């Protein structure tokens, strides 16, 4: 009896008798059970019959059909449901022949809070759970910071936290440099500050003409009343507002709110540039490099990108595209359901919108050319790394580990990841050290905990190493002791065939004199001017930066914790009121019930609960 598993068109043909004309999603699998491709169909039987033909396929589809050993099907009520399910499965399974958006970071917004009499303006990233007005998205944190700096010059809104606001007794430096109206110490009253907030919101909505005219009117009135200091302040604000308008880059007059998406494809590699147009202003751009599914064409790449990009983002009313998508009506319907309103997809050929797309397309071409050049250099370094450490092949995934602590306090382990595309920051991880190793400043113990947690999880999630989550090379900050400890951990877990290299400081702890440790091999070094050595130094420095940043964040969080956090019924507002009234948690612990009741929001029952907490 033969053990050969049949693949190809005959396998696909056999499924046709079990299918009908329902919409749904299909999966194509190889002999190992790995998902090759996930697709949607308005009519499953018709779509699968196309694959069963022996001609008319592109090279990519022909390869995929040849490798197919089995298929799986899920029917849906509508084709829109099929599209949504398809994209969810693609993100989950990451099939080889699908287009996959690999960068899923959220975009920052500007938030003007509405839960305080004097609202704060700040950068916000993540879910919109705070009460207030959100403006965005912006392409990067830097774009938000630059805009916030200019807005503070114009509208003088505070950026300090509520707890800092409550504790002020005199104006801070922001007031001195004319970037805040200092509502914390009564330099501006509520109605006046509310008018500043309203002007800021009008500006962020694109209504700059009305704001500028109002400021000019106020300046003229102040000058007529001989309030020359106030007139000069208003003049400075008008000047700052003009600078903001000039610094916004491309400001389309005829496009109020849209995303401009341009695709450039070159030798199977793709770059997608997204420009955000809000309130007739350019709020920056971001480039993406989706996996093209082993040779997908522009319409398929564009459709997959849009469906995945707006999976967790609100689409604007208008999306301008450099290439049409395969199913424009279907994609528009999906986006409209997510947004709760109409979303238009357009491929303009002339006018201002076409100019916006040409600018985005030029950026996509240039970005892809730079990336391909950098990728060539990166591949050369990875080949050099393989030669230096006698690896079987250039590593596709390098994981670098480091620990950070101060005499055992707030210990954190950090892991960074690099590969042919450079640093893969979405793959970075941090580990809060939970064992006694952190408190004892035991670097070996901390590394043991980090490695155990990392590889126990990998073994649980992907025991057969089917995904690209498994590393080819581990770089450890340390020498022979750390290498021995890591080797023992991997052996205990049954993990084999992983190259592990320890990077020690070497003589005089001098950069350039690093020593490299490997299990069972003599210590080695690389020439001081070797590009591979510089590459390893960059990897190590990035791991230091990541671990130290996580440690500082943990330490800062620990500093802000007070005994008040442990009192039942005392939330953020009561904690802030108590600290503002008494000055410190220690003073609260010494207060009597009558003194506690003098604080706003503290009833007699709550005052007694606080008193009993500290005096039980």
Say if CB 613 and CB 578 are below 8 A apart.
no
> What residues pair up with 121 in beta bridges, in sequence order?
112
DSSP SS3 for 319 = strand
Euclidean distance between CA atoms 237 and 150, whole angstroms: 10
User: In whole angstroms, what separates CA 41 from the centre of its chain?
Assistant: 32
Predicted TM-score (pTM) of the model is 0.68
Taking the domains of the chain in order of start, what are their residue ranges? 9-97, 109-247, 258-279+286-369, 397-558, 563-615
pLDDT average, residue stretch 579-600: 84
pLDDT average, residue stretch 61-89: 92
pLDDT confidence of residue 231: 76
> HSE on the CB side for 238, CA within 13 Å?
17
Q: Is the pLDDT of residue 450 over 70?
A: yes
CATH 2.40.50.180 fits 9-97, yes or no: no
Domains 9-97 and 397-558 share a fold: no
Report the topology of domain 397-558.
Answer: Nucleotidyltransferase; domain 5 (3.30.420)
Euclidean distance between CA atoms 381 and 538, whole angstroms: 12
Q: How confident is the model at residue 40 (pLDDT cuts 50, 70, 90)?
A: very high
Tell me the pLDDT tens digit for each residue of 490-500. 998 888 889 99
How much of the chain, in percent, has pLDDT values that exceed 70? 91
Q: Which CATH architecture has domain 563-615?
A: Orthogonal Bundle (1.10)
> What residues pair up with 270 in beta bridges, in sequence order?
265
pLDDT confidence of residue 244: 54
Among 252, 257, 249, 260, smallest CA distance to 279 is for 257
Between CA 129 and CA 131, with CA 130 as vertex, the angle to 5 degrees is 120
DSSP SS3 for 217 = helix
Q: How confident is the model at residue 121 (pLDDT cuts 50, 70, 90)?
A: very high
The matching CATH number, chosen from 3.50.50.60, 3.30.9.10, 3.30.420.340, 3.50.30.40, for 258-279+286-369 is: 3.30.420.340
Work out the mean pLDDT of the chain and round it to a whole number.
Answer: 85
Tell me the pLDDT tens digit for each residue of 3-23. 556 778 889 999 998 999 999
**Which is higher by pLDDT, 388 or 230?**
388
Q: What is the DSSP string of 38-63?
A: EEEESSHHHHHHHHHSSSS--HHHHH
Q: How confident is the model at residue 563 (pLDDT cuts 50, 70, 90)?
A: confident
């Amino acid at each position: 009896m033969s053990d050969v598993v049949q693949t190809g068109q005959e396998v696909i043909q056999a499924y046709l008798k079990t299918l009908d004309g329902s919409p749904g999603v299909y999966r194509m699998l190889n002999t190992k059970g790995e998902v090759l491709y996930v697709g949607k169909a308005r009519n499953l039987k018709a779509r699968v019959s196309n694959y069963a033909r022996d001609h008319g396929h592109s090279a990519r589809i022909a390869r995929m059909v040849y490798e197919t050993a089995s298929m799986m099907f899920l029917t849906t009520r509508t084709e829109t449901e099929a599209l949504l399910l398809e994209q969810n499965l693609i993100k989950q399974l990451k099939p080889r022949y699908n287009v996959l958006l690999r960068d899923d970071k959220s975009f920052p917004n500007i938030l003007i809070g509405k839960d305080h009499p004097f609202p704060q303006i700040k950068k916000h990233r993540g879910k919109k759970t705070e009460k207030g007005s959100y403006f965005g998205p912006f392409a990067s944190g830097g774009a938000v910071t630059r805009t916030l700096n200019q807005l503070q010059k114009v509208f003088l809104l505070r950026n300090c936290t509520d707890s800092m606001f409550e504790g002020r007794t005199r104006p801070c430096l922001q007031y001195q440099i004319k970037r805040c109206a200092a509502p914390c110490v009564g330099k501006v009253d509520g109605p006046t500050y509310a008018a500043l907030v309203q002007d800021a919101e009008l500006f962020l909505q694109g209504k700059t003409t009305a704001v500028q005219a109002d400021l000019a009117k106020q300046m003229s009135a102040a000058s007529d009343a001989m309030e020359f200091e106030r007139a000069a302040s208003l003049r400075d604000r008008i000047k700052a507002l003009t600078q903001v308008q000039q610094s916004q880059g491309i400001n389309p007059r005829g496009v109020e709110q849209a995303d401009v998406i341009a695709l450039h494809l070159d030798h199977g590699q793709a770059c997608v540039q997204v420009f955000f147009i809000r309130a007739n202003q350019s709020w920056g751009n971001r480039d993406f490099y989706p996996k093209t599914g082993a040779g997908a064409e522009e319409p398929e790449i564009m459709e997959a990108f849009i469906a995945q990009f707006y999976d967790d983002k609100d689409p604007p009313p208008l999306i301008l595209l450099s290439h049409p998508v395969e199913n424009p009506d279907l994609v528009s319907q999906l986006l409209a359901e997510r947004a709760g309103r109409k979303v238009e997809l357009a491929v303009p050929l002339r006018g201002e919108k076409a100019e916006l797309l040409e600018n985005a397309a030029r950026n996509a071409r240039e970005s892809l050319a730079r990336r391909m050049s950098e990728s060539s250099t990166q591949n050369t370094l990875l080949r050099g790394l393989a030669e230096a450490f006698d690896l079987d092949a250039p590593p596709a995934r390098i994981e670098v580990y480091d620990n950070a602590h101060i005499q055992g306090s707030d210990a954190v382990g950090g892991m960074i990841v690099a590969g042919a595309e450079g640093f893969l920051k979405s793959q970075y991880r941090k580990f809060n050290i939970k064992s006694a190793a952190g408190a004892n400043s035991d670097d070996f113990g901390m590394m043991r905990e980090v490695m155990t947690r990392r590889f126990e999880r990998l073994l649980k999630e992907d025991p057969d190493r089917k995904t690209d989550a498994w590393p080819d090379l581990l770089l450890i900050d340390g020498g022979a002791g750390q290498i021995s400890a890591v080797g023992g951990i991997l052996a205990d877990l049954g993990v084999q065939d992983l190259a592990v290299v320890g990077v020690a400081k070497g003589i005089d702890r001098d950069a350039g004199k690093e020593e490299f440790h490997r299990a069972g091999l003599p210590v080695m070094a690389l020439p001081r001017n070797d590009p591979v050595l510089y590459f390893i130094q960059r990897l190590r420095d990035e791991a230091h930066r990541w671990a130290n940043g996580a440690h500082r964040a943990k330490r800062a969080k620990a500093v802000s914790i007070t005994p008040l956090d442990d009192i039942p019924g005392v939330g953020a507002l009561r904690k802030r009121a108590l600290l503002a009234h008494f000055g410190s948690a220690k003073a609260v612990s010494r207060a009597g019930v009558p003194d506690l009741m003098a604080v706003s929001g503290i009833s007699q029952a709550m005052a007694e609960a606080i008193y009993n907490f500290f005096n039980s």
